């Protein structure tokens, strides 16, 4: 497979090793005899559900946390008195989902801060600083002007700057945490090229991702953690998503996509000829029936999210008609959509899904404040009753409903966002990337919720970039291409190959 090489193609030396690592927090054991080995010239993926122990292990490898037992070895020698500074000196560089970039400094200054040494009053050679940054960026194929302000960079550009910073420190072990979570397919391909270049130059890469389908493209081996224990280390070329899910969660793929057959009723939402120049969609025609999950598939930029925004009143509609239960509706704002019976769970839950600082109960009732208020005063008892009902129904795991929503795991934040949408009592539920960035256990829970809503007669429009989710959960699938619908197919007639062909402009047959 592309990006994978067997261990027989070169002689690998053991580079970084964690041996029988133990770690507890209070009475909770986070890691139990965990072992992990990274070889030079290898991309080694580390996977597991949230809470499996991945983050704790990485913090131990980078010196941010001291283990209770076991050892971390570099080149066969134990690392003594490890710390983030010490691990950086040794060439161990973590790059997290949110790059550590100073936005008001230039790219060259960001790279220099991570690598230059000397006293406070040393002389700064600005020309040399820019030249060195340019060399590091060029070495990974990054076409970024080192004099640009870092705050003007896109997310993938920021990640490349972080990699350049690591190279300046003579990185030997690069740790990438969910590096493609916010990248397009093209940006992901470019990142993979950089990772392969580092691997081919002898560095070891630890690659953490929930996107199991991308691992065969980039990883050589995969280690699975579950409940703080090492379950298995397997060859990426010899395994697949189904087997990884079984190892990660102790459950089969069918448990992650628990699609249930429910009665399909009459059309609830009818869209005819919908066009919005503002968001680049045209002549959108489809319908969703009661109890049906209509999946929207297509490549990034095809217009899937823009359809949801137009239907929900977030984008101006230039032409077309929207009908709900045979009645034509005029939707010019989200308020109009909610009043008509349409609810929307947006893609970016951190920015639009939950208000992180507000309590969980407040997040769940933001959409129905008029129902939990007495005039201008909030009825806190009424709010709590509503929130407790949804928390129980959706199985939200939290210390309490007064805890801030930002304290929840990604999967539970998504449940809170769904609860707020469902609290309006919608006839139509639109969910955009409902399980993006959450582990397989939380995915199964979100899918169960969608099935429950469908069983209650809610018409569901589900947008997803994950092919397994589209095929596993949809009754019918609309494929977007170039701002319009290329075709709609029944689930029984759809395959990953046929959907991709439609998305690229070919035939579904």
E strand spans, 325-432: 327-329, 342-345, 373-374, 377-378, 428-432
Pairing of strands 459-463, 428-432: parallel
Residues 337 and 430 in one domain: yes
Residues 243 and 354 in one domain: no
Please report whether residue 286 resides in a domain: yes
Which is higher by pLDDT, 69 or 124?
69
As a whole number of angstroms, the distance between CA 450 and CA 464 comes to 13
As a whole number of angstroms, the distance between CA 412 and CA 85 comes to 34
Residues 446 and 319 in one domain: yes
Among 25-29, 42-46, 176-180, which range has the highest average pLDDT? 42-46
Residues 259 and 356 in one domain: no
Please tell me the number of Cα atoms within 13 Å of 75 on its side-chain side: 5
Total domains, the chain? 3
Neighbours of 425 (CB within 10 A): 11
**Token digits of residue 184:** 């397009």
Residues 419 and 432 in one domain: no
Residues 166 and 217 in one domain: yes
Provide the domain limits for residue 377: 348-425
pLDDT higher than 80, residue 272: yes
Domain boundary among 400, 425, 450: 425
pLDDT higher than 70, residue 251: no
Residues 300 and 284 in one domain: yes
Task: Report the interhelical angle of 155-168 vs 185-200 (nearest 10°).
Answer: 10
As a whole number of angstroms, the distance between CA 443 and CA 447 comes to 6
Q: What pLDDT score was predicted for residue 75?
A: 94
Residues 286 and 399 in one domain: no
Q: What is the band of 157 on the pLDDT scale with cuts at 50, 70, 90?
A: confident
Q: What pLDDT score was predicted for residue 460?
A: 97
Cβ atoms of 234 and 241 within 8 Å: the answer is no
Q: What pLDDT score was predicted for residue 95?
A: 84
């Amino acid at each position: 497979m592309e990006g994978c090489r067997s261990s027989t193609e070169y002689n690998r030396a053991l580079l970084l090793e964690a041996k029988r690592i133990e770690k507890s927090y209070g009475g909770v054991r986070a890691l139990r005899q965990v072992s992990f080995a990274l070889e030079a010239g290898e991309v080694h993926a580390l996977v597991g559900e949230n809470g499996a122990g991945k983050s704790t292990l990485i913090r131990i490898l980078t010196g941010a946390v001291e283990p209770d037992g076991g050892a971390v070895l570099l080149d066969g020698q134990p690392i003594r008195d490890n710390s983030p500074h010490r691990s950086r000196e040794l060439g161990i560089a973590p790059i997290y989902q949110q790059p550590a970039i100073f936005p008001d400094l230039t790219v060259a200054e960001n790279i220099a801060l991570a690598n230059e040494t000397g006293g406070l009053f040393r002389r700064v050679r600005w020309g040399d600083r820019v030249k060195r940054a340019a060399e590091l960026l060029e070495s990974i194929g990054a076409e970024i002007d080192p004099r640009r302000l870092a705050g003007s960079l896109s997310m993938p550009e920021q990640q490349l700057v972080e990699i350049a910073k690591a190279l300046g420190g003579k990185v030997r072990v690069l740790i990438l945490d969910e590096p493609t979570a916010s990248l397009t397919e093209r940006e992901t391909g470019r990142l993979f090229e950089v990772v392969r270049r580092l691997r081919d130059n002898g560095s070891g890469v630890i690659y953490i991702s929930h996107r199991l389908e991308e691992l065969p493209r980039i990883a050589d081996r995969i280690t699975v953690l579950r409940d703080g224990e090492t379950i298995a280390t397997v060859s990426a070329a010899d395994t697949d998503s189904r087997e990884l899910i079984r190892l990660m969660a102790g459950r089969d793929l069918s448990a992650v996509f628990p699609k249930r057959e429910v009665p399909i009723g009459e059309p609830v939402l009818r869209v005819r000829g919908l066009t919005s120049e503002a968001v680049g969609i045209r002549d959108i025609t489809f319908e969703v029936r009661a109890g049906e999950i209509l999946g929207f598939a297509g490549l990034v930029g095809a217009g899937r999210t823009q359809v949801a925004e137009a239907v929900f009143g977030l984008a101006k509609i230039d032409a077309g008609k929207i009908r709900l239960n045979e009645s034509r509706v005029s939707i010019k704002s989200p308020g109009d959509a909610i009043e008509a019976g349409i609810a929307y769970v947006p893609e970016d839950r951190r920015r639009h899904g939950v208000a992180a600082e507000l309590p969980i109960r407040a997040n769940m009732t933001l959409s129905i404040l008029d129902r939990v208020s007495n005039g201008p005063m909030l009825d806190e008892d009424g709010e709590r009753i509503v929130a407790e009902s949804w928390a129980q129904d959706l199985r939200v795991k939290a210390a309490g409903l007064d805890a801030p929503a930002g304290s929840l795991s990604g999967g539970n934040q998504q449940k809170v966002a769904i609860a707020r949408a469902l609290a309006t009592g919608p006839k139509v539920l639109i969910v955009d990337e409902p399980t993006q960035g959450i582990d397989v256990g939380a995915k199964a829970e979100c899918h169960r919720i969608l099935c429950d809503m469908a069983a209650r007669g809610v018409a569901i429009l589900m947008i997803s970039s994950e092919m397994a989710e589209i095929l596993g959960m949809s009754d019918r699938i609309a494929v977007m291409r170039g701002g319009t619908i290329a075709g709609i197919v029944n689930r029984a007639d759809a395959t990953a190959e046929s959907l991709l062909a439609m998305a690229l402009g070919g035939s579904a047959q």
